[in-house]
Structure 1
Amino acid sequence: MKITLKDIMNEQLWGQTILEVKQTLINYKKKGQIFFEESISQLEQQNTFEIYYFGRSNEKSTINAFPIPIQEFRLFNNQKENRKFINGYFTKYYGIDKNDERVQPSNYKLFVGTDFVWLYSNTI
């Protein structure tokens, strides 16, 4: 879901000041409960960025990141098994099946949080 720091501040759910909001976002990202690519410390209040929540995707989100619980995450020696494993979590998160050649482990970068691993890519 595309959002700005100003939008988050207006909701007053994660803090009232820009510093409180940024700190809360960083803490949730470290856990893997949310994901965003941007460096929050560099973001201005009006800059739009994409944020993903671990529990569910948002129909307004760009489809390029999804979580895997840290205790379930694994990589296989076989690319076919990796693709099948990754596709299962992609399908579970977005509700669509991307079982094709583009869903390759090599197309993704990893962000490892304490609770969730996020796979993300701009190539899907």
Structure 2
Amino acid sequence: MKEISLKEIMDTGCFDNVLKIKLLFIRRKKSGDIFYRENMSKLPYDQPFEFYFHATKGSITYQNAFPIPTCQYKRWMGKEITLQNLLPYYQMYYETDGTMDLDYSLSHYNGEKYIWFYKEGVNYES
């Protein structure tokens, strides 16, 4: 995805209050519909952040995270998860036949509907 700031979102005119945006984003991240690394409650108004949506890769600038539906992830419970297992989900999300960067970690964010895997070395917060 590309970077965006809360200011840019406010400039669209879709929201009348930055706190409403933050609350919406916190709820949607908890559901797993979206993913971002910053602590939304502390995010400065004009600080750009990477924003990912489960349904589309959007305009690709970064490929630092991708989702897996929770129901599909659950079938791996108790089994070893490898980058090879994750590759089809990465390829589907980014619409590519290429392989993912080996920097991807098996660390993940657990949303209710989607589990987000992301690159290691990037400081993602809940």
Task: Give the shorter-chain TM-score range.
Answer: 0.7 to 0.9
Native 8 Å contact 1:87 1:103 kept in 2: no
Q: Identify the residue that residue 60 of structure 2 maps to in structure 1.
A: 60
1:100 shift after superposition: 6.8
1:58 shift after superposition: 2.0
Structure 1: gaps spanning 5 or more residues: none
Native 8 Å contact 2:57 2:93 kept in 1: yes
1:75 shift after superposition: 5.2
Q: In structure 1, what is the Cα distance between the partners aligned to 2:106 and 2:96?
A: 18
Q: In structure 2, what is the Cα distance between the partners aligned to 1:118 and 1:43?
A: 20
Q: In structure 1, what is the Cα distance between the partners aligned to 2:94 and 2:78?
A: 23
Q: Identify the residue that residue 22 of structure 2 maps to in structure 1.
A: 22
TM-score, length of structure 2 as denominator length: 0.81
Q: In structure 1, what is the Cα distance between the partners aligned to 2:87 and 2:96?
A: 10
Quickly say closer, same or farther: Cα 1:26–1:98, change in 2 above 3 A: same
Query: What RMSD over aligned residues (CA atoms) do the two structures have, in Å?
Result: 2.2
Quickly say closer, same or farther: Cα 1:24–1:88, change in 2 above 3 A: same
Q: Which amino acid aligns with 2:110?
A: V
Structure 2: gaps spanning 5 or more residues: 122-126
Between the two proteins, the alignment pairs up a number of residues equal to 118
Q: Which amino acid aligns with 2:59?
A: E
| Partner deviation per Cα, 1:72-123 (whole Å, 9 max, x = no partner) | 01257456xx22220010000012234478276xx23210011100001156
Native 8 Å contact 1:68 1:89 kept in 2: yes
Q: In structure 2, what is the Cα distance between the partners aligned to 1:39 and 1:62?
A: 19
Quickly say closer, same or farther: Cα 1:103–1:72, change in 2 above 3 A: farther
Native 8 Å contact 1:84 1:99 kept in 2: no
Q: Which amino acid aligns with 1:56?
A: T
Is the aligned partner of 1:9 residue 2:39? no
Q: Which amino acid aligns with 1:44?
A: P
Native 8 Å contact 2:107 2:120 kept in 1: no
Quickly say closer, same or farther: Cα 1:35–1:76, change in 2 above 3 A: same
Aligned pairs (5 A) from 1:38-49 = 38-49=38-49
Identity among equivalent pairs (%): 27
Aligned pairs (5 A) from 1:1-124 = 1-13=2-14, 15-73=15-73, 74=76, 77-78=79-80, 82-99=82-99, 102=102, 107-122=105-120
